[in-house]
Amino acid sequence: MKSAFLDAFSGLSGDMIVGAMLDAGADFGELQAALASLPLDGYRLAARRKVVSGISALKFDVEVSAVQPERHLSDIREVVRRASGLTDSVKDRAMAVFGVLAEAEAKVHRTTAEEVHFHEVGAVDSIVDIVAAAWGFERLGLGEMIVSTLPAGTGLVRSQHGIIPVPAPATAELLAGFAIRMGDGASEMVTPTGAAIVRALAAQAPPAMGFRIERVGYGAGSKDFADRPNVLRLMLGERTQSYEADEMVEVEANIDDLNPQIYEHVVERLFEAGARDVTLTPTIMKKGRPAVTVAILAEPSARERIAAVLFAETSTIGLRYHPVARLKLAREINEVDTRWGRVRVKVSRGGDVVTLSPEYEDCKRLAREHHVALRTILEEAQAAARRQISRDD
């Protein structure tokens, strides 16, 4: 699977992502032709070489020549839908970016995604940046995009709503779950458009990653920084390690005075709060008291939510946590046909290992609807997934 690693030591923006994609091999003329089908006017595309600290980078610009109307999510959806030069997958990725951006803005302004007024990001240059990034993802044949730790920046910036802190409120919402360096950078280092593209199309790079580089592209930003070159480095290639790795946090509490009936409810609440795994282990505490150790595995960003559930729903008055590194098989969800209907199957791969896990709830629903043994549907879904993999390979 081809991967793109965004080495964002100077942050990123929509135009920097597109510039890096073009520098890495996407064709500017083809991009112009694809974007020409957008029902938008009052702009032109430009791409030029810019040398930054001796690095030759591509500066992508959307030069706007006309005042643009204020747009809502429905307006942008219609613009993207009518673009005949874009494939359905490009349109879907572009709308995924606008969708996460609308949700972030709605949360900041306490409204709904459909009611959000897109100001800066609803302008034609931001629309073009987002659609161009979605086009570049497909044009480069990417299976995934991963991003380094991002500099959060410092200071204040002016927006349509007035003076706001860096990172901008919507940017901060969009980067929840991604690793950032607080206070790194004397300016806005990650724009809302860049953050939305990362949120919808990329994942956090693991702390240690084997990677075989095939090609490198640089996208230039508009500002000049004294402490670093303002470019985004995009590395095209493939991961070389057999297993994926990420950083999680493990939260534990020993509980010796809770009604056992409550644990089922506690576990449900923990999963709702973001737990990836919850285990209950019988143990013996001091003075021979029997107890239960509740252990939760979650992303670091969910730690406070996990703690809130434990303190609210159990009798514990303290808990412990520590970061843990995790190796895992790469996973994807496929759909297969059985005699009784479609079933989602989780396909996990690593080295020579392939694990097939039919979605239990799908199989249970079909078993009840068709009065068939659940085991029969599970086995047929697994066999269908195995045949599908054999054909693809």
86 and 164 in a single domain? The answer is yes
143 and 271 in a single domain? The answer is no
Average pLDDT over every residue of 48-75:
93
Half-sphere exposure of 207 (CA within 13 A, CB side): 8
What is the share, in percent, of the chain residues with pLDDT greater than 70?
98
User: Is 161 a residue whose pLDDT tops 90?
Assistant: no
Tokens 């860049």 belong to: 194
Range list of H helices, the chain? 14-23, 28-35, 73-81, 88-109, 124-139, 169-174, 192-201, 263-272, 303-313, 360-370, 374-392
Contact criterion met (CB below 8 Å) for 231 and 284: no
pLDDT number for residue 75: 92
Q: Which of 218, 239, 260 is the last residue of a domain?
A: 239
pLDDT number for residue 117: 76
SS3 for 322?
Answer: strand
Average pLDDT over every residue of 81-107:
95
The boundaries of the domain holding residue 127 are 3-239
50 and 184 in a single domain? The answer is yes
| Total residue length of the chain | 393
User: Is 210 a residue whose pLDDT tops 90?
Assistant: no
Contact criterion met (CB below 8 Å) for 97 and 103: no
Distance of CA 26 to the CA centre of its chain: 22
Q: How confident is the model at residue 120 (pLDDT cuts 50, 70, 90)?
A: low
43 and 77 in a single domain? The answer is yes
133: nearest Cα among 15, 18, 8, 4: 18
* Number of folded domains that form the chain: 3
221 and 284 in a single domain? The answer is no
345 and 224 in a single domain? The answer is no
Q: Which of 286, 310, 328 is the last residue of a domain?
A: 328
Q: Which of 239, 262, 281 is the last residue of a domain?
A: 239
The mean predicted confidence, pLDDT, of the chain is 93
66 and 106 in a single domain? The answer is yes
Q: How confident is the model at residue 57 (pLDDT cuts 50, 70, 90)?
A: very high
How far CA 297 is from CA of 122, 210, 251, 267, in Å, comes to: 38, 24, 7, 12
315 and 288 in a single domain? The answer is yes
Average pLDDT over every residue of 24-45:
96
Report d(CA 368, CA 341) in Å as an integer.
12
Contact criterion met (CB below 8 Å) for 157 and 185: no
298 and 217 in a single domain? The answer is no
- Of 194 and 156, the one with more pLDDT: 194
Q: What is the CATH number of the domain that holds 283?
A: 3.30.70.1380
Q: What is the CATH number of the domain that holds 365?
A: 3.10.20.300
pLDDT number for residue 132: 98
268 and 344 in a single domain? The answer is no
pLDDT number for residue 393: 66
- Of 349 and 272, the one with more pLDDT: 272
pLDDT number for residue 121: 53
pLDDT number for residue 79: 95
pLDDT number for residue 162: 84
* Contacts of the segment 262-268: beta carbons below 8 A, 24+ positions apart: 262/313, 262/314, 263/292, 263/294, 265/313, 266/294, 266/309, 266/310, 266/313, 266/314
Examine residue 167 and say whether the peptide bond preceding it is cis (omega within 30 degrees of 0): yes
Q: How confident is the model at residue 119 (pLDDT cuts 50, 70, 90)?
A: low
Report d(CA 23, CA 8) in Å as an integer.
15
What is the share, in percent, of the chain residues with pLDDT greater than 90?
80
Burial category of 391 from C-beta neighbours within 10 Å (exposed 0-12, middle 13-18, buried 19 and up): exposed
pLDDT tens, position by position, 298-356: 999 999 999 999 999 999 999 999 999 888 888 889 999 999 999 999 999 877 788 99
pLDDT number for residue 14: 97
192 and 288 in a single domain? The answer is no
SS3 for 153?
Answer: coil
88 and 211 in a single domain? The answer is yes
Whether the pTM exceeds 0.85: the reply is: no
Report d(CA 349, CA 330) in Å as an integer.
5
Report d(CA 65, CA 360) in Å as an integer.
55
